[in-house]
Structure 1
Amino acid sequence: MSRIGKQPIPVPAGVKVDLKGQLISVTGNKGTLKREIIPEVEVVLEDGVISVRNRVETKKVNAFRGLTRSLINNMIIGVADGFKRVLVIEGVGYKASVSNSKLTLNVGYSNPVEFELPKEVNATVDGNTKIVLECIDKELLGLVAAKIRQVRKPEPYKGKGIRYEDEHIVRKVGKAGAS
């Protein structure tokens, strides 16, 4: 029983939704997103409200119904407001800079790490240690943020590395604390 899948999705003013078979296209002031929907799930647009229904009643299709509803909701929020992800760099001498679509990370390696950003993702650097990523596609934004974090994951002893702004690093006690 998908409780999320049963909830209707209100379409805000300024957002246009087009349904052509199993292809849904959402257009807003930030851009356009398209997604193919599995044939077992039906999407209906009535009076500015989108509802997702099952064509076949099985447990698997019910799970896909909730997933489809969440994906469509994220598309609508993305084209209306956009998504934002903040990464924080911690460590002495660790810094980042961005030029065009290239993010340069100096995070303790002998050479700076050049990270090529997709054209859909916008990055800004605040004070050399805070990377702000913005995109209309939540899935792509999360993937890019995870790849940037992968360059230098935060280590548990001093917390040095790249972490999400809301992430809490559990610190370990070093050698001196073991005795």
Structure 2
Amino acid sequence: MSRIGKNPVAVPSGVTVEIAGRQLTAKGKLGELSLVLNDNVEARVEDGSVSVKPVDDSKQARMMWGTTRNLVRNMVTGVSQGYTRTLEINGVGYRAAVQGKNLQLQLGFSHDVIYPIPEGITIKCERPTLVAVSGNDKQRVGQVAAEIRAFRPPEPYKGKGIKYDDETILRKEGKKK
């Protein structure tokens, strides 16, 4: 039995949640997100909150219960506050800059890495070694941050590369004499 699925999702002021058939839509100051509900769960909007219930007692319905509840919570939080993932760049000569609709990364390769910024995502570089990826869809923000990190993941000897700001790199000792 899902313990997370039992809790209703509170809808803050300024956010409207509507259900039309199997489509759940959340609108807020940061945009609009929609989710197609699984056939094994049903959702209701009541008293300023969204509650999710399984249709029957099957294993699949119980699995999707908590998952759907968290997807709805992520949508409501995304359209009201948004999500931000921060990346740090470590290394001599490594830097990033936003140029138009592209993110230009200098990561020690013979060429600059050009990453086109997707729709609905904003990327800011306050410092040349700090990249902030933000948007209203939690999954897309995480995916874009992972794609940027994949260009030069941090290595364990000197810690050079792109890492998340809350990530700790397990350092290895170099070779001994």
Q: TM-score range by the shorter chain?
A: over 0.9
The aligned residue for residue 135 of structure 1 is 135
The aligned residue for residue 166 of structure 1 is 166
The aligned residue for residue 111 of structure 2 is 111
2:62 counterpart of 1:24: no
Following the alignment from structure 1 to structure 2, what is the Cα–Cα distance between the partners of residues 162 and 85?
A: 13
More helix by share: 1
Following the alignment from structure 1 to structure 2, what is the Cα–Cα distance between the partners of residues 5 and 162?
A: 36
The aligned residue for residue 146 of structure 1 is 146
Following the alignment from structure 1 to structure 2, what is the Cα–Cα distance between the partners of residues 58 and 89?
A: 47
For 1:121-162, what per-residue CA distance to the aligned partner results, in whole angstroms no more than 9, with x for missing partners?
Answer: 000102100001110000000000000000000000000000
Kept in 2, the 8 Å contact 1:88–1:164? The answer is yes
Q: TM-score, normalised by structure 1?
A: 0.97
Pairing 1:1-179 to 2, within 5 Å after superposition: 1-176=1-176
Kept in 2, the 8 Å contact 1:101–1:119? The answer is no
Give secondary structure in 2 for the equivalent of 1:5.
Answer: coil
Query: Structure 1 runs of 4+ off > 3 angstroms?
Result: none
Following the alignment from structure 1 to structure 2, what is the Cα–Cα distance between the partners of residues 127 and 135?
A: 19
**How many residues were matched structurally?**
177
- Among the aligned pairs, what percent are the same residue? 42
Q: Which amino acid letter does the alignment assign opposite residue 82 of structure 2?
A: G
Give secondary structure in 2 for the equivalent of 1:175.
Answer: coil
Kept in 2, the 8 Å contact 1:83–1:134? The answer is yes
Kept in 1, the 8 Å contact 2:40–2:60? The answer is no
Q: Which amino acid letter does the alignment assign opposite residue 71 of structure 2?
A: L
Following the alignment from structure 1 to structure 2, what is the Cα–Cα distance between the partners of residues 173 and 35?
A: 48
Give secondary structure in 2 for the equivalent of 1:127.
Answer: coil
Following the alignment from structure 2 to structure 1, what is the Cα–Cα distance between the partners of residues 99 and 112?
A: 14
1:59 Cα offset (Å)? 2.1
Kept in 2, the 8 Å contact 1:149–1:162? The answer is yes
| Aligned Cα root-mean-square deviation (Å) | 0.8
Q: TM-score, normalised by structure 2?
A: 0.98
For 1:92-115, what per-residue CA distance to the aligned partner results, in whole angstroms no more than 9, with x for missing partners?
Answer: 000000022200100010000000
1:58 Cα offset (Å)? 1.7
1:60 Cα offset (Å)? 2.2
